[in-house]
Structure 1
């Protein structure tokens, strides 16, 4: 499910975000020349890894901004670009945590610098360490860029302060969620469903849905009731979306999702599916297969069977529907204009349809 296709903003507005991003990379590259060729190359590598993104978070910012009657596109575009740079920073760091060297079918920042090191004759373990180290630095630069864009967005002091606070909360939430996810993977005991839901809200829903929608509303000059309602919408639809994504990660068709249906099981990823199944007797006979690096298709099929017979799949789909319905309730509040509701309603419907 690609939510970027469900939210439509005018091409002119989205194009302005692209121009802001291009401008940031150009300035960053020029600044980097003062510090040597390595810095300039790092900025260019980071730029390549940002190109081709779906710009979902900027779309969230602009949708709220546009449908709530916002008029200052320059401010909105800079804030929207900031959330794209935040996304870039977080996925670059996430790839380091997961020891992934490829994204979107090509080497990511870690992979690019690992490959450069191996070409230079450095052993693979050292090359991988070099690649991940450089990626940490690159992610830091993108994160700093997000703050720089918000701070220089051109809004008045009060509005800018509110925007920085929203960005701060999104960064802190993502850090807390990532930490929880890492922590879960190192514990023998399985987290509860509620703990997984909270982790997914912090790690993904907050910076992908909640904060961008609220930031767009702030730039548009919306009232507190509207901003709060959009935050609740974003929180609940973000959780619903992530639960559905986790279900598709195990049961989805690979040629449709573009994602391995065995990877999450082999990795031992803690999701709502797994947290619920771990409380059921059907899990006892198969739990040793979960997280096995050598898990094959036969073992994966046994795990999927257990997730179905234990009721975990049905439970996860019902829970996603429940959160999607909560999102709709927030969207239906009187403080949310019909124009905003009409633009965001397809996101709710899409999530509900994918849980059937």
Structure 2
């Protein structure tokens, strides 16, 4: 796949933002501000999900290029909606190293000298509403992708299932983080990763591509299995980056997950070791500073949690590659999906801070 299909996705996304913003003439400046925020949230994305859909559609011999482009754009809009909502849920005001939707509206509210509780309420409302606009636009984009009605119906079923599944995983993630039930074991965190991330980020674009290419049901199933493994592995690496990443490369804070006490596989593994006593006062501390985070990272490394999660990520990514080559997919497609796995690994590896550096930092 050359640059042209991805460039077409960018044009489609721009067109969707313009179409949404065009209605502001009737609805006024608040509507325009929300659409500007959605456009900003879309900016500088890696477009991994559209890329997966397009290379799979092409690799399966699909000929519905225009419909694939629109569906790929819809998947990116869905991702943007979930990212905006996720930042509201997590209370984050930064994304990719800059103010996110909530952060931008919080700044606007502070200019009006509002109390901080009102600032937070306004920022959260803007995030929810902007995310809603992106979500409904994603659905409409699939519904109007131009494929035959039977295929559109199948695509909408996939999209609907992804939304339901991801919402379920998001709630479980929040519940675990708040300690509303028994501390989750590693297997429980993997299930959340499958529900929250793999379902829409990897299984959806791969399955949608197969539907557009009119692939056999066995191929749709195999691609779903590949997407599951890819998604879980991707989320595990993301969890590592949330604690051990180079902030200049990732654009995300290495304090947020620790302060929030996010119930990742990293934390679940640490809870199962005697070293948890050294972490209990650090993980979940909203006032955790960089010194405390460095101590936490050292303990997470020395108790084996970092290595165990890296191994789990590698296991799932290896399974994705193995399934791609054993499931009867065209060899060129299996090779391209393998390249995607290599890119995910390389990107994470370049952004992870080596463990010895962390030990020195904490000393």
Q: What's the TM-score once normalised by structure 1's chain length?
A: 0.92
Which residue in the other structure is 2:246 paired with? Answer: 253
> Could you tell me which residue of structure 2 aligns to residue 6 of structure 1?
none
3-state SS, counterpart of residue 241 of structure 1: helix
Residue 315 of structure 1 and its aligned partner are, at CA, apart by 1.6
- CA drift of 1:325 comes to 2.1
Cα distance in structure 2, aligned partners of 1:219 and 1:300: 47
Distance (Å, rounded) in 2 between the aligned partners of 1:263 and 1:179? 18
Q: 1:171 is matched with which residue? A: 163
Residue 130 of structure 1: aligned partner = 122
Q: Aligned-pair distance for 1:307?
A: 2.0
Structure 1 runs not aligned, ≥5 long: 1-8
In the alignment, does 2:214 pair up with 1:209?
no
**Correspondences of 1:37-76 after superposition (within 5 Å):** 37-76=29-68
Q: Which residue of 2 aligns with 1:151?
A: 143
**Aligned twin of 2:232:** 239
**Closer, same or farther in 2 for the Cα pair 1:128/1:169, shift >3 Å?**
same
Structure 2: 5+ residue runs without aligned partners? Answer: 355-363
Counterpart in the other structure of 2:187: 194
Q: Which TM-score applies when normalising by structure 2? A: 0.90
Q: Secondary structure at the match of 1:289?
A: coil
1:351–1:120: structure 2 CA closer, same or farther, 3 Å change rule?
Answer: closer
Aligned partner of 1:117 in structure 2 is 109
Q: Deviations over 1:168-219 (max 9, x none)?
A: 1111111011101110111164211111001111111111111111111211
Deviation at 1:26, TM superposition (A): 1.8
Contact 2:97 2:252 in 1 (8 A): no
User: Once the two structures are superposed, what CA deviation does each residue of 1:199-249 show, in whole Å capped at 9, x if it has no partner?
Assistant: 111111111111111111211221111111111111101111211221233
- After superposing on structure 2, the runs of 4+ consecutive aligned residues of structure 1 that deviate more than 4 Å are 350-356
> Which residue is equivalent to 2:279?
286
Q: How many residues align?
A: 348
Question: Is 1:338 aligned to residue 331 of structure 2?
Answer: yes
Shift of 1:351: 5.3
Instruction: State the Cα distance separating 1:350 from its structure 2 match.
Output: 4.6
Provide closer, same or farther for how the CA distance between residues 121 and 257 of structure 1 changes in structure 2, counting only shifts above 3 A.
closer
Q: Determine the structure 2 residue equivalent to 1:97.
A: 89
